[in-house]
Amino acid sequence: MSDSNPAPLALFVFNRPDHTARTLNALARNTMARETPLVIYSDGPRSAADEPAVEKVRALVRAERLAGRFGSVATFEAPENKGLAASVISGVSEVLSAYGRAVVLEDDLLSAPDFLCFMNACLDYYEKDAKVGSIAGYSPLHRLPRGVSGDVYALPRNGSHGWATWQDRWQAVDWQAKAYDGFAADGRARKSFNRAGIDRARRLDREMAGRASSWSIRFGFSQFLSETLTVYPRDNRILNIGGDGSGVHGARGFAFNTELSDRPIPFRLGPVREDPRVVAAAARLYGGGRVRAAVRELVQRTRGWPPQSVAVARTLAKI
């Protein structure tokens, strides 16, 4: 493990000071925090209404430079709003160019105390494995299917809630997704892309139609084209606290798995492969037919709804 040279942590923040503070506090409790370089990207306000909250967030991250809780802290404040997708693409590219690897978080994710340890161990272990495109800290599966063992599993589906990758994988991404036109008309390719959840192709369709702005689905499409997998932990190490309608994407990221240990959990890494039983479990979780898919899409639109309505939509989406 790279205890002496841990991967940098890129943190993307915007206009949620309470979420940002909780995210930073959880990270500071990580066993590798004091050795980890922290790079914080603060996006600019969309309008004058955002300015007070953005400034509160920036006051927090400026103070973090003096707190001594991380190996080092660098902060970058965008003068104008870039949007989450553009911020992540440019920020992660910068960090990877400087370090060759990176762990990435947004401002609404609480981490387990061994999150950084797990991510660094995986970055070391799987760096030379051409079948691995990224690492995830969040596990959507509460339990692995019967008969499946091990402390990690792999899916043909990337994760965006606390993740990591290497420069060569990131550099290979075509952010214009020029292969989409051929993919869109290829039923076999769409089925394969959806094998770990029927939401994938529709998300990419919305992205390419300009109805969404997501770095994640484009990164996932790149991994699909390169036939690489994402490694997930059996024991969840990330809790999403942004499903309250406060985020850029509204109630996106409502949690399937809310279990999060308050202590380090021993783990052992090993070679990974695509196990049909695990893929089927993910497909059931992110699937459920057209009715559930429609409800899930409704959940994406709940930003600004009354809390009780958001709760109902989230409950329906889990049925």
Distance CA 117, CA 264 (A): 9
DSSP 109: E
Report the residue count for the chain. 319
Per-residue model confidence (pLDDT) at position 256: 79
Per-residue model confidence (pLDDT) at position 112: 98
Q: Which residue has the tokens 């919305």?
A: 206
Which residues are within 8 A (CB) of 173 and not within 5 positions of it... i.e. 6 or more apart?
Answer: 218, 219, 222
Per-residue model confidence (pLDDT) at position 312: 57
In the beta sheet, which residues pair with residue 146? none
**Over 33-88, what HEC string results?**
HHHCEEEEEECCCCCHHHHHHHHHHHHHHHHHHHHCCCCEEEEEECCCCCCHHHHH
Per-residue model confidence (pLDDT) at position 319: 45
pLDDT digits (tens, 9 = 90+) for 225-270: 999 999 999 999 999 998 655 555 444 444 578 999 999 999 999 9
In 3D space, the residue among 135, 140, 90, 100 whose CA is nearest the CA of residue 116 turns out to be: 135
* Burial class of 228 by CB neighbour count within 10 A (0 to 12, 13 to 18, 19+): buried
Helix, strand, or coil here: 154? Answer: strand
Per-residue model confidence (pLDDT) at position 135: 98
Q: Which residue has the tokens 């606390």?
A: 162
Contact 154, 271 (CB under 8 A): no
Q: From residue 95, how far is each of 22, 103, 214, 298 by CA, in Å?
A: 23, 10, 19, 35
Distance CA 13, CA 57 (A): 7
What tokens were used for 282?
């993910």
Helix, strand, or coil here: 319? Answer: coil
Contact 154, 232 (CB under 8 A): yes
Per-residue model confidence (pLDDT) at position 102: 98
DSSP 161: S
Q: Which residue has the tokens 């394969």?
A: 192
Q: Which residue has the tokens 């991967």?
A: 7
The helix-helix angle for 307-318 and 289-299 (nearest 10°) equals: 150
pLDDT digits (tens, 9 = 90+) for 142-172: 999 999 999 999 999 999 999 999 999 999 9
Residues of the chain with pLDDT under 70: 1-4, 243-255, 288-319
With the CA atoms of 164, 168, 169 and 174 taken in that order, what torsion angle do they form, in degrees rounded to the nearest 10?
130
